[in-house]
Chains A and B, each alone.
Chain A
Amino acid sequence: MILQIALLAGLVIFSALAVLARDLLKAAISLAVASLLLGILFFIMNAPYVGAFEISVVAGLITVLFMTTIALTKTEGNVRESKAARVAFPLFFIVFLIIDILVMKGLVGKIPAAASTPDQGTFGEALWKMRTFDLVGQIAVIFAGVFAVLALFRKRSKDE
């Protein structure tokens, strides 16, 4: 339990660092570390497949994409953020945490929980037999992403 709380606290701290860091590269690396902690947490919560996905795809691939974008836009892309936003963040965050502590217990109690039957079988069976249509959706989403990127980087023909 203590390990889980430590991992969750680390996740929140690194996410806050990713949001508040001035340097974009440091922000991207903080985000990767947060993903790594979340992946370890998933392993602890008996969800190894999602943990592997989180570490390889979110901590790996998305960080690489972020770094490529930062490198491509670095020269003149610096934007001045408002200082008040950084200064006010801890205050707002602490206020939110207090509200969170007070309210969350009541909220969680009010969520209508369907009568859940404990899982049977393996992850593969759950994914392939029960969520087959999700896989079709995933393939569609991947194709949509690929075509969107292709369309955005399309070179103009000489006539235009």
Chain B
Amino acid sequence: MNVEVAWVTRRFGRNQAVTGVDLETGTGVFGLLGPNGAGKTTLLRMMATVIAPSSGTLRLLDRDPGSYGPRREIRRRLGYLPQNLGYYPGFTVAEFVEYFALLKEMPPGRIPGAVATAIERVDLGTKARAKLRTLSGGMLRRVGIAQAIVNEPGLLLLDEPTAGLDPEQRVAFRALLRELGQRATVVVSTHLVEDVGAACSEVALMDAGRIVFHGTPDELTARGEGQGAAGDAPLERGYSAVLAQARS
């Protein structure tokens, strides 16, 4: 298992953002669904080793991120796209991706090829030498995805990756997700159910800091059948039914 989360809790002052989450997942694309404020981003940031859990245990890529050496090893094999990707406006696309490849401690000889591959995979080859300040929101999102995948991570964490992408780019991105999920654990946090239906083999639904559903997209769809739940698509109705049940 690349991700093992056991009874993890995270508090910010008096606010409990994540409450007793248990989760295990291996290779494949794992969708983390839920409304705004459900705790998805906080859970993802703990998996990205940006923040530590207040309690509970976390093992990533068979290592304990609580210790310095294993945490550094995890980070070498980690790809992370934050919800709000900050960027350096004066860097070019290639410089930005290369900078983070260096900070991930990739072998320097492998970096030029890896940077070119990552940029081409997100279809930004024609913009590789453009300054980031000149790019649109959707292109910046793709730059963020390129830096996340440049080291061919064993664990890829993507927070709202399709935000700002147009429908064509979104379809291409889902194909990329499926491809990446064949060799790595990909955790995608989103509130767009159609992304989950199209790309994920497994899904968890969070609400108020807890996981209220864990299964396949088909199982989530089945939870909405005959319930009269709100939604335009079967998966949306499953999502609404589970949330309604959790809140009742």
Partners in one complex: no
A residues engaging B (CB < 8 A)? none
B residues engaging A (CB < 8 A)? none
